[in-house]
Structure 1
Amino acid sequence: MQRDLRRKTWFILFLVVVVGVYAILPIFNPTLKQLFFKGNDPIRRGLDLKGGLEVILAPDYRVESRVLSEVESYVQDLLSPLGVQAQNISLLGQSNDNNRYEGLTFKFASADEAKQVVTADVIKDKLTWRSGVEEKKLKVDIAVSTVDPSVVEVKVQEDPANFPADALYQAKVIMENRINSSGLSETVVRLDQTKHRIEVQLPGVRSQAEAERLLKSTGRLNFRLNNDKIVMYGTDLEEAQAGYHPQNNTPVINLSFGKSGAKLFEQITTENVNAILGIYLDEEQLMAPIISEPIPNGSAQINMGSGTTLQEAKDYAILMKSGALPISLRSVLVTQVAPTLGTETVKLSLIAGAIGILLVFIFMIIFYGRMGTVANLALAVYTLMVLGSIALFRGVLTLPGIAGLILGVGMAVDANVIIFERIKDEIRSGKGMRSALNSGFDRAYVTILDSNITTLLVAAVLYFFGTGAVKGFAVTLAVSILASMFTALFVSKTILEIWVGKAPERFFAKYEVRG
């Protein structure tokens, strides 16, 4: 019995010390913060507490201008047999940084010519575009413009069948790696399958330009021979590591390709010595190294030159090794979010919370004597466990999450109240303190378990069917419930077993145990 009790005691002490050192002390100790969290806050704050930007991204099925130039030639060839000719051809839609458009517009001499082109039905609704190893299946839709009847709009987009079924999920994972590599630890990347989009929260980021710079690294990596045709994709690249050249000490990037990629890379470098192998992120050129010799074995080195710093080389390596997105994305909404709580409000809220907890402590001691002290100790362990869990799993604390934590505090106290009332009933019936203690916990166990399981089920429903803030509330509520059950049924009992004696008045006020 005593041996088992000692084990429980040491386990609780170990838990408190480990969690305290890991989650609490780094808040006040910069050295520990740097050691455990690389200088970031142990508990990450969400948009509503820190402010920042929220960006919503959706699949971008538009096509590049280089693809549309060939579609233009294809359509022009089909117009000749009809005896009509477009007076003006222009790109349809507004471009973005990736140089993508919705299609082409063809301006004809009259509305009759435009109608003739559409009714002739000579333009296929599906096309295949090829360039080097690159191939795109395209969906084409042709119609007379609703604004100008003499204009034909040829809308072109990539066929969604070009992309894997789980392309958005893959994009979400890759995007998390890239953004987190930039040092934004509070960033949240969430996939919304029902709306077929990705939501990115960037706490602390104030300018849209900065957000676009961060998200710009989510493009598709490709290698272009002489900055023209794509000959390889980023999916062939396995590793990109920055370092120094062993001889001249200039920054370099070491590349490693997979088995199939290594074979293709050897073929490209063998056949194109002294040619430029441009490395692109979507349509933006990252660098343009020159092939100096055939490169076998799938290992290459890019010399960045003396004008480049090691940090710049590392930044390029991050963009390259984080993986190529399997689908192109575009931002459909960028929202500036101000902190819901200002600095002064947060400070006042903390003071109010401390006062509230202090009142709970006083209440428990007045009404339950030393038992109240036990509950207060268990509540302290509960707080450490919840904060430690959030820090350990790098959760993001939001306003709804704080609400879940506060609700958990109430449930933790409530569980102890149920246990203590059961113990008092046992004492009133004439049992000794140790016997009353065991019976009280046994009888309260089922009640506490049932009530907490039902609340956990509610939290599960909120998590799986809720969105954003609702999910944050559900997660913190579930963590709080589990922590409160542990502290009530294990920590409180262990402390009581250590302190238990024959006189019940040592644990309750005397009037509480009278028959």
Structure 2
Amino acid sequence: RHSLWPPASMANLKYRVLLIVGLFAASAWALFPRTVVERVKRDGVFVYDTVRRVPLKRGLDLQGGMHLTLEVDESKQAVANKSEALDRALKVVRQRIDEFGVSEPVVQKVGNDRIIVELPGIDDPERAQDVVQKSAFLEFQITDETGALEKATPRFDEIARAAGIAVGSQAAGTPAAGDSAKSTSVTSLLTQKSDSAPKDSAAVAGTTGTDSAAAKPVAGGLFANNVQPGQIPGQYIVSETAFPAIDRALQLPAIQAAMPPGKVIRWGVVDTVETGAQRFRALYVLDARPIITGEVLTDARPNTDPVEGNVVQFTLNNEGARRFKVETGKHIRDNMAIVLDQKVITAPTLQSAIGRNGQITLGGGTLQAAQDLALVLRAGALPVPLKVAEVRQIGASLGNDSVNKGIFALIVAFGLVLAIMIAYYKLSGALAVAALVLYMVYTMAMLAGFNAVLTLPGLAGFVLSIGIAVDANVLIFERIREELDQGKSVRLAIDEGFRHALSAIVDTSAATILSGMVLYQYGTGPVRGFAVTLVAGLVASLFTAIFVSKTFFLIWLNRSRGTQTLSI
């Protein structure tokens, strides 16, 4: 009765073979070396370049990189609900790291007070820390034109004198008019994109600030002797020697309470400006209420302008564009400060209302600085300040040794399995080894297709899953032996062997898959890499042991017509 197959069985076998061949072709395509775009460092600047490689991503322990532990910074103020704040910060950090260009970063929360960041292959740790930690809270604020600081200076001096804050030498030089203009001039720092409507366009020109520069400095005390008017309204110049005392005084609660109503004081983002033999810092008095904040930004991209240099072009959403246009229209000829993380980047003069598009000019800033600023603006501001609690560098040489040892272990494991299976189960063992080869291809393709990270523990999980895959075949073969010992035909014994062994194989694999999912959910770094490869291997193992192996047996039965004795 086994001499001929029913047509339905032949059709079923055909579909099985087509499915196996199709999956193998898809797997080969997923693992085929291809040209990919990667972020590389050239001449101190990160650029995107094309390289050709197998699309399997290596983890931190295989190619080296950087490990960061972040905590909430409560040095300035306490955070009520750190766990909730850290959840919100996690999303921002993850988005920044994703745009940073690392091949496969790990960003996750650990406990209720820490964020772990792992950056494989990173070779600029200082820049990575800066991108992760930067608050990136952007504000557009109008500079003060009421002389609020001059009016509050006597009170500030009294508070500083009472607190014992003073400069070693109270006589701080005032920069010459020409030198001051050279160091603090602001030219074309905020412009409108060329595709904006003409009525929304803004041309920002340099400011001479002659009226403000001619203002007489107030006399007496820390602030009176060391804070001099700058080139634009609301801008002041502080000598480098007086900066520590002024900065310390501005942090006093009494001075913050004595601040003019509706005003805030911010330092310039450029730390120092050299003018001849003297060094100065810029100080700004701004309206406390910002025109808009970075929350209304929808996009920010770096660019290089032949006149302005490196810039960051930004786009606002509908609400932000409407509000920005109305507010800037009220302040024509006023100076608007662009404030990032409470430091003034620029303070250009508004020549007309600004609509949806604009740009931030970095002056002498590098293109990399523009790229980083655009990156953090797109990702948004951190809800709480973060600090680096721990940083570790992992060398790439260790990774190469680990890869070699892992591959060697994989070859040894496969070789031993091949020898034992063929020696013990003969033809059936050879069929199982053929299925095992497909299993390895399918597993690696799954890792590549889902952008999983291959780590050293992941290689261990892959080797372990080979043993699990063979274990399924052992269960099936032993069951087939039992059916043959009971006198059943070869075809019936194969069918019964696969059917009765199915429940044990599925139960064992399901339990291990659930364990791997728990490890992935609550583990970090290498533990997650182990879990990913283990689960991927188990899924591929179920398919090859149950479906592929049986298909090979059906092909053998079709060729022998069931007349030969099964070698098992």
Q: Deviations over 1:445-490 (max 9, x none)?
A: 0110121122223334434454443333233322222221121111
The residue type paired with residue 66 of structure 2 is L
- Describe the SS at the equivalent of 1:56: strand
Structure 1 contact 178–217 (Cα < 8 Å) conserved: no
Please identify runs of 4+ aligned residues in structure 1 that moved more than 6 A. 247-252, 305-312, 503-507
Structure 1 contact 237–256 (Cα < 8 Å) conserved: yes
Q: 2:26 aligns with which of 18, 27, 49?
A: 18
1:448 equivalenced with 2:502 (yes/no): no
Structure 1 contact 220–326 (Cα < 8 Å) conserved: no
The residue type paired with residue 18 of structure 2 is W
CA distance in 1, matches of 2:439, 2:37: 22
Compute the displacement of 1:387 (Å): 1.8
Match of 1:58 in 2: 71
Structure 1 contact 378–491 (Cα < 8 Å) conserved: yes
Structure 1 contact 250–303 (Cα < 8 Å) conserved: no
Q: Which has the higher contact order (CA 8 A, sep 6+)?
A: 2
Structure 2 contact 61–399 (Cα < 8 Å) conserved: no
Match of 1:268 in 2: 327
Match of 1:233 in 2: 293
Compute the displacement of 1:415 (Å): 0.5
CA distance in 1, matches of 2:23, 2:433: 17
CA distance in 2, matches of 1:506, 1:309: 77
Q: Deviations over 1:148-184 (max 9, x none)?
A: xxxxxxxxx15536x9x74323322222222222221
Q: 1:49 aligns with which of 36, 58, 62?
A: 62
Change (3 A) 1:476 1:345: closer
CA distance in 2, matches of 1:383, 1:281: 51
- Describe the SS at the equivalent of 1:255: strand
Q: How much identity, in percent, do the aligned residues show?
A: 34
Compute the displacement of 1:21 (Å): 1.3
Structure 1 contact 25–32 (Cα < 8 Å) conserved: no
Correspondences of 1:58-457 after superposition (within 5 Å): 58-63=71-76, 157-160=77-80, 166-192=84-110, 194-206=111-123, 208-217=125-134, 219-226=136-143, 228=286, 229=288, 231=290, 232-241=292-301, 253-283=312-342, 290-296=349-355, 299-302=356-359, 304=361, 315-338=372-395, 341-344=398-401, 346-457=403-514
The residue type paired with residue 80 of structure 2 is P
Compute the displacement of 1:346 (Å): 2.9
Structure 2 contact 402–456 (Cα < 8 Å) conserved: no
Change (3 A) 1:340 1:463: farther
Q: Deviations over 1:326-368 (max 9, x none)?
A: 2221112222234584524532442342233123223222322
Structure of larger gyration radius? 2
Gap runs ≥5 in structure 2: 1-8, 39-48, 144-283
Gap runs ≥5 in structure 1: 64-156
CA distance in 2, matches of 1:289, 1:370: 82
The residue type paired with residue 489 of structure 2 is G
- How many residue pairs get aligned? The number is 405
Change (3 A) 1:248 1:495: farther
Compute the displacement of 1:422 (Å): 1.5
Compute the displacement of 1:7 (Å): 2.1
What TM-score results when the alignment is normalised by the length of structure 1? 0.69
Compute the displacement of 1:201 (Å): 0.9
Change (3 A) 1:17 1:304: farther
Structure 1 contact 221–280 (Cα < 8 Å) conserved: yes
Change (3 A) 1:284 1:363: farther
Q: Deviations over 1:118-173 (max 9, x none)?
A: xxxxxxxxxxxxxxxxxxxxxxxxxxxxxxxxxxxxxxx15536x9x743233222
Structure 1 contact 368–507 (Cα < 8 Å) conserved: no
Structure 1 contact 33–41 (Cα < 8 Å) conserved: no
Match of 2:552 in 1: 495
The residue type paired with residue 411 of structure 1 is I
Change (3 A) 1:21 1:292: farther
The residue type paired with residue 441 of structure 1 is F
Match of 1:81 in 2: none
- Describe the SS at the equivalent of 1:209: helix
What TM-score results when the alignment is normalised by the length of structure 2? 0.63
RMSD of the alignment, in Å?
3.4
CA distance in 1, matches of 2:346, 2:449: 39
